[in-house]
Structure formats: C-alpha cells, structure tokens
Structure 1
Amino acid sequence: MRIAFALPGLHRVHRGAEVAFIAVASELARRGDEVTLFGSGPALPDRPYNFIKVPSIPRERLEWLPKLPFLRSETGWEEASFAPGLLARYRPGDFDITATCAFPFTNFVLRRRSLRGGRPPHVFITQNGDWPAYSRDAEYRLFDCDGLVCINPDYQERNRDKYRTSLVPNGADLTRFRPGPPERERLGLPPGKIVLMVSALIPSKNVADGVRAVAALDDATLVVAGDGPLRNDIEALAAELLPSRYRRISVDADDMPALYRSVDAFLHLSRDESFGNVFVEALACGVPSVVYDLPRTRWILGDQAYYAPHSIEGIVSQLTRALADGGDLVAGRVERAKAFGWPVIAAKYRDFFAEIIDSNGRSK
C-alpha cells in the first residue's frame, strides 16, 4: 500500500496531529507499506518512512495577519504557505491513498487530479475537529473526502450518514510513556508540588482557568509546556495571581515522558478537544489527571481521572484530590492506556485505508 500523509508541521513541531501522523506512518512502514510524509521540517535519520520537505511559514510568525474566509487563523495562513510547495512535489499517481487533517488548502491539493484525470482516494482525519466535514457554510461547502477518520464517537455519530467513517482514536508510544523515576533536576523543575499543563496557549485550551485554579492552592507550582498567541496574557495573569509559582517551559519531544513522570498532577481544561494525545500520555505515565467532566474525556479515561465540573472551585477541589493521590492507582491508569498503543491504532488505520481503496476501485 502506497500511503501519503501531508501536514505543514511534520518534522517541525511536536503537536498532537503531528505526533499521531508520524506514529501511524512509522508503524505502517514497519509492517511493509510504502509511506511518505510531506512536511516542512528537516529529514530525520533512521525513519522507516519516506519524507519530502515542503517549505512553509510557521504559524507563530503569522499571528498578526487578518482573519478572512479560507484564512481564518494563523493556522490557515501557515497552510496557505505550505500548499504551493505541496502542489509542486505531490504526484497523485505515486500513491494508492492520501491523508491529512488540514483544510482547506492541503485537502484541495491532495484531491487534485493528475493530468490523466485520476487521483488516489483521500482520507480526512479529524485531528483538529470535524467542522470541515460537518459544516456547509462558506469554504466548508467545498470540502470532500472518500473516507473520514473520526477520532471520537461524537464525530462519527455526526458524520456517519454522509461519509464512509471509521472510529479511530489517537494513542501514545507505550514503550516511552510509562511510569518511572522523576527527573526534576535535569529538567530544571522547581521543588514542591507541580501541576502540569501541556497545551497550546490559545483560547480553547483554557490555560487561564488553570492559572486561577492553581492560584487557589497554597503550595503548588503551575508548569505549562506550550506556546501560542496568548503567551503574554497568560504571563501577565500568572504574574498577578501566581507570583513565583508559574513557569512556562519548552521541552524536547524526547523528554516529554520524563516531564510527565516528574510532576504530581496533570491538568487539561479544553472543552472541545478532538481527542487529546496528552490524556493518554499522562495516563500511560501513571500521572493523576484533572479534566472537565465530558462524555469525550470519560470515553478516553474511563474511571482513571479526576473529573471537574465547569467551575474554578470544581477544578480546585479535584486538583486537591489529585495532588493527594497515592501510587496505588498507577496500575489502573497504565492498564487503561494499553488500548491506545500505536500498534493497535495503526492497525485500525490500515484496515480503513484498505477498505477505502477497495471501495474506490469497485466504484470506478
């Protein structure tokens, strides 16, 4: 099977969608498929898949640009800078199937036909939401795909009547994300209780609520691993409410398991997270997690998390419980994480890709 994944951030950033694409591509390539990734980062050694570098402008440099149809955020501008290079390097005849989670421009390029009029079937993956598939407004009316990977049950229920769908969650590398000793000194973390948020600094992640909640605790430090356009607003709020008890850090991807193992509680407050690889990463490391009480978070975490109502007081209450959590509960979290190992997830992807290719062949 000749498979192409395309996304601007591949090999350049360590976000949820990029992590998922690389993990699935690696597993499929090890099983014998010919997998190619198109991304804007550098080629990396010892990867089992092919990598084609496509230039793009990082979204962090595009935050100042206006918000327009087709270009509704810095993410859209980044994708627009990626699409011309992808158009030049992508050859439809070289692949049996293509996949992305980026719309509109990457989706358009991967659906383009070759000079002979053909193209491989295209799968859209709802890493960043299912709005392109579900909405019929503005540019979303131009969306199409041959198969839709729904990374949570809500997306599948909403789209199954219109598209051929498959429910495939994200996962984690359970050989790396697992319980182990803390490494606070090496990572430069402070002493005392630490609450960790691994999050982009954007409105939907509600990091400001994390600052307010930790401020209500007497002896905990909030560590945020992430960046985004709200960085200055969050810094200012933390300076007011958490003086000397807030730290924003940047951690290499290889050090993320050690970071989880070095904290006392994990906090994630997005209400509309498509899936959230971070849930599984923290789960696999045995860290107690505090999350909003939503059907989607319960689908992932089961009874292995502390569920907060949508209030600062509720978050504080559950953080207090999580920080007092004992090691006796680690085994249950690790067991829950086993359902989300990348080999299990990659097998689901391959089955769906084969189904879409077979269906596309029969429809011709």
Structure 2
Amino acid sequence: MRLLFALPGFHRYDRGAEVALLSVADALARTGDDVMVMGAGAARAGTAYDFHSVGAIRRERFERFPFFPVLRNETAWEDASFVPGLLAAYRPGDYDAVVTCSFPFTHWALRRPARARPLQIFVTQNGDWPAYASNSEYRSFRCDGLVCTNPDFFERNREQWRCALVPNGVDLDRFVPGVAERERFGLPADKPIVLMVSAFIETKRVLDGIRAVSQLDDAYLVVAGDGPLRDEGEALAADLLPGRFKRLSLAASDMPALYRSADAFLHLSLLESFGNVFIEAWASGLPVIGHDSERLRWILGDSGEFLCDTEDQRALVAMLRAALARGREREGQPHGIERFSWATVADQYRDFITGLVAERRSVS
C-alpha cells in the first residue's frame, strides 16, 4: 500500500498521538508498505518511512492567542499554520490512503478535491467528537475509515462509519523493567519516586497530582511534560513539595530510562482516548495509578489494581501509598503486555486499510 501519515507534531513533539502514529507508520514501512510521513519537525535517522518536513508555527507561540470555534486551542492554531505547506507538498494521486488524527485543518487539506482522492482514514487519538458531533466545524467531518482506539468510541461510531477497534501500542524492546538511572536525571536515590508523564494542561490534572503527592511524607514527584500551566504547576510544587519535585522535558529516547527510574506511575486524566503512557509504564514494570473507568480497565486488565476515583483525594493518596509499597518490577516482561506490541497493532491497521482499498477497487 501507498500511505501518507500527516500531523503537524510529527518529528517535533513526542506526545501520545505523535508517538502512536509514527510507530504504526514505521512498523508498516518495515514490513513492506510504501509510507510517507509529513510533519513540522526534521528528518530523523533510523526510520523506515520516508519523511517530508512541512513548516508550521510551534503551538507554544499560540498559548496567549484568543480561542474560539474552529481555532479552539493552541494546537488548532498550529494545525492551521501547517496547512499551506501540506497543500504544497500533498499529491493525492500518490497514495492509496491518508492517515491523520488532526481536525479540522489537516483533515480538510487531505480531503481537498482531486480526481483520484485516496481513502481518508481518521484515528481517534485525540477523541472521537469530530466523528459524531453535529455542531460548528464538526458537521464537515467525513472519512472512509475510522480507527477507534477504545471500545467506547467503536460502539458510538460503528453505525455511521466503517470502524475498526485498534489500540495503541508500545515498543517492547525499549520499555522494559530494568536498572534505575536516577543519577542521569538528577533524581534522589533515597526517596520513592512518583512519575507523571503529562502535558501541563487542564485535562491532565497535573496540579491535582502535585497536591496528592504532597500528602506523602517522603515521596518525590517527577513530571515529564510541558504546557501552558507549567508556571502555575512549578509554583504550586515549590509551595507544597519543596525539594521533592522536578519537571523534565526529555527526548523520546530518554523516556524508557526515566520510567525505570521511578517506583510508581500516576496519570490523572479522567478519560483519555487511549493513553500510551499507561502501557509504557506497565511495560516498564511500574504500578499504574489512574482514574477508574471501564476504558482504562479494558487497557490494563488485571494490572489495573491501583485504579480509583482520583477526584477523591483521600482515595488517591491511599492508592499512591499502596502502589509505592508494592514498588516496580525489576525484570521480566509483565504478563499481558505482549498484545500491545507495535507490530501487532500495525497488522491491525494494515488489515483494516487493505480491506477498504480492496472494496473500493472492487466497485470502481
């Protein structure tokens, strides 16, 4: 198959959506598909796919811009700035299918009129509301295939769109239990470490994590992430966790070692579309504390023993204590994680898209 993956953040950020779609693109390219990736970053060595850099203004530049429908947040502004370069580089006839999770501007650009327009595959990495909402710009949403990253999205959309239920994955060669490398990150050797891998935005509830960890006498909180609430978070940590907090911004290559350097993983988003960080932490042997939901239990299975109502601070603090008491696994692949290998996930993408391509050819 000839595939295009397009997203402004490709090769510029290593957050959930970027990591997931690039991992799928790389796995597909390594097993024979012709894959092009377009993003705003620079080319990286060692990728199996081809990469074309498309200019876009960084989302951080838009944090103080006004937000309103269509331009609802800083990532939407970034998405809009990505489109001129994308349109200049995009040749619809070169691909059997195009894949994105960015709506509306990248989605609109990939759907531009063309005599031989490829199949439009939308992935619900950032939510499924474009697929079902009927207000404002969401009325313009169309796709030939919808990849749903959890069962809720699949059930909600299966009647309207051609859907496949496909989880995200994890690199099981990199995210493994092992020896901590705390000195490398400037972390204390004598304190239990709670790790959050979260953007400093409202929905990730990092500030609630700071408040919860402050109730533990000796725990040290590390947050790997950035975002508009970074200054507020650091100020709160200085007040509640003096000497027991560090914020890091790391390259993706450093993340496996950071996970192995922690004792427990905390993520407080109430309802992630999937949450790659959950399975990265699980694969690294960490106990996972998160908000109890059917969706997260579908992901973690029997490893969801430390889920709770995270809006109840007393329950959250108790679960943090229990998770730290258990500590991390130091060797061996955690049971059940193998179903999330990127090779397995990419096979599901290929099966879904090749089926759609075959259907189109059969009626043309």
Query: How far does the alpha carbon of each residue in 1:171-218 deviate from its partner, in whole angstroms, 9 at most, with x for none?
Result: 100000001100001121123111000000101101111011101000
**TM-score normalized by structure 1?**
0.97
Aligned partners of 2:193 and 2:219 also within 8 Å: yes
Aligned partners of 1:211 and 1:237 also within 8 Å: yes
1:291 pairs with 2:321? no
2:90 corresponding residue in structure 1: 90
2:326 corresponding residue in structure 1: 325
Secondary structure at the aligned position of 1:303 is classed as helix
- What does 1:280-319 correspond to in 2, within 5 Å? 280-305=279-304, 306-309=306-309, 310-319=311-320
Query: How far does the alpha carbon of each residue in 1:77-116 deviate from its partner, in whole angstroms, 9 at most, with x for none?
Result: 00000011000100000001001000001111111122xx
1:132 corresponding residue in structure 2: 130
**TM-score normalized by structure 2?**
0.97
- % same residue: 56
Distance 1:281 1:21 in 2: 15
Aligned partners of 2:122 and 2:143 also within 8 Å: yes
Secondary structure at the aligned position of 1:302 is classed as helix
Query: How far does the alpha carbon of each residue in 1:49-101 deviate from its partner, in whole angstroms, 9 at most, with x for none?
Result: 11011000110111111112210000100000001100010000000100100
1:219 corresponding residue in structure 2: 218
Aligned partners of 2:287 and 2:327 also within 8 Å: no
Secondary structure at the aligned position of 1:314 is classed as helix
1:360 Cα deviation after fit? 2.4
1:12 corresponding residue in structure 2: 12
Aligned partners of 2:286 and 2:327 also within 8 Å: no
Partner AA of 2:11 in structure 1: H
- What does 1:209-288 correspond to in 2, within 5 Å? 209-288=208-287
Query: How far does the alpha carbon of each residue in 1:258-288 deviate from its partner, in whole angstroms, 9 at most, with x for none?
Result: 1000011100010121001001100001011
1:237 Cα deviation after fit? 1.5
2:3 corresponding residue in structure 1: 3
1:363 Cα deviation after fit? 4.2
Name whichever of 44-53 and 282-291 sits farther off.
44-53
TM superposition outliers: structure 1 runs of 4+ over 4 Å:
326-331
- What does 1:67-82 correspond to in 2, within 5 Å? 67-82=67-82
1:330 Cα deviation after fit? 7.0
1:170 corresponding residue in structure 2: 168
1:34 Cα deviation after fit? 0.3
Partner AA of 1:60 in structure 2: E
1:42 Cα deviation after fit? 0.6
Query: How far does the alpha carbon of each residue in 1:313-335 deviate from its partner, in whole angstroms, 9 at most, with x for none?
Result: 1110000000000567976x712
Distance 1:285 1:360 in 2: 42
Secondary structure at the aligned position of 1:72 is classed as coil
Distance 1:173 1:248 in 2: 24
Secondary structure at the aligned position of 1:223 is classed as strand
Partner AA of 2:113 in structure 1: R
Aligned partners of 1:184 and 1:190 also within 8 Å: yes
1:179 corresponding residue in structure 2: 177
1:336 corresponding residue in structure 2: 336
Partner AA of 1:187 in structure 2: F
Distance 2:352 2:118 in 1: 14
2:22 corresponding residue in structure 1: 22
Secondary structure at the aligned position of 2:334 is classed as helix
Distance 2:38 2:343 in 1: 22
Distance 1:47 1:290 in 2: 33
1:104 corresponding residue in structure 2: 104
- What does 1:38-49 correspond to in 2, within 5 Å? 38-49=38-49
Secondary structure at the aligned position of 1:248 is classed as strand
1:193 corresponding residue in structure 2: 192
Aligned partners of 2:264 and 2:328 also within 8 Å: no
2:348 corresponding residue in structure 1: 348
Distance 2:22 2:116 in 1: 27
Distance 1:316 1:212 in 2: 9
Partner AA of 1:315 in structure 2: L
Aligned partners of 2:286 and 2:328 also within 8 Å: no
1:257 Cα deviation after fit? 0.6
Distance 2:100 2:329 in 1: 40
Aligned partners of 2:166 and 2:348 also within 8 Å: yes
Distance 2:23 2:195 in 1: 24
1:147 pairs with 2:148? no
Partner AA of 1:319 in structure 2: L
Gaps of 5+ in 1: none
